[in-house]
Amino acid sequence: MHHPALVAVESRVNPAECKSMAEVRQGVDALDRALVALLAERQRYMDAAARIKPDRDAVHDDARIEDVVAKVLASAEQQHLSPLIAEPVWRLLIDRCIAYEFSVYDRTRS
């Protein structure tokens, strides 16, 4: 079963078969919509983490950050995604998710 965010992506033209910028843009737009849906789901996991973690000090975990980045880089290599894209994108994503989780933690504990 496919993730709902990926269903629209499957109908796009394969990048190697694009013959126009319109096809390229349609593919990128479909991927962007899927990425937004996946990031929204990831955010819901941050909501769960904020609810589950026993104290505010548990929100930022350097070891977990490095573990996530290492896993992403391994996956990126398998998928032929440049580490020059993957690492900074995920480090920023993690940073913003931690900030979001802090805000949820503080809002739900006050």
Provide the residue ranges of all domains of the chain, joining segments of one domain with +.
Answer: 1-52, 55-110
Percentage with pLDDT > 70 across the chain: 95
What pLDDT score was predicted for residue 29? Answer: 96
Tally helices (H) and strands (E) across the chain.
Answer: 4, 0
Q: Are 22 and 12 in contact (CB under 8 A)?
A: no
Residue 76 contacts by C-beta under 8 Å, 6 or more apart in sequence?
A: 82, 83, 85, 86
DSSP structural state of residue 80: T
On the question of pLDDT at 18 being above 60, the answer is yes
42 is in an annotated binding site: yes
What pLDDT score was predicted for residue 3? Answer: 74
Q: What is the pLDDT of residues 45-77, one digit of tens each?
A: 999 999 999 999 999 999 999 999 999 999 999
53 is in an annotated binding site: yes
Q: Provide the pLDDT confidence category of residue 11 given band limits of 50, 70 and 90.
A: confident
Find the mean pLDDT for residues 37-43: 98
87 is in an annotated binding site: no
Q: What predicted TM-score, i.e. pTM, was given to this entire model?
A: 0.88
Distance, CA of 75 to CA of 69 (rounded, Å): 10
What pLDDT score was predicted for residue 88? Answer: 98
- Residue 32: name the closest of 46, 18, 12, 47 by CA: 12
25 is in an annotated binding site: yes
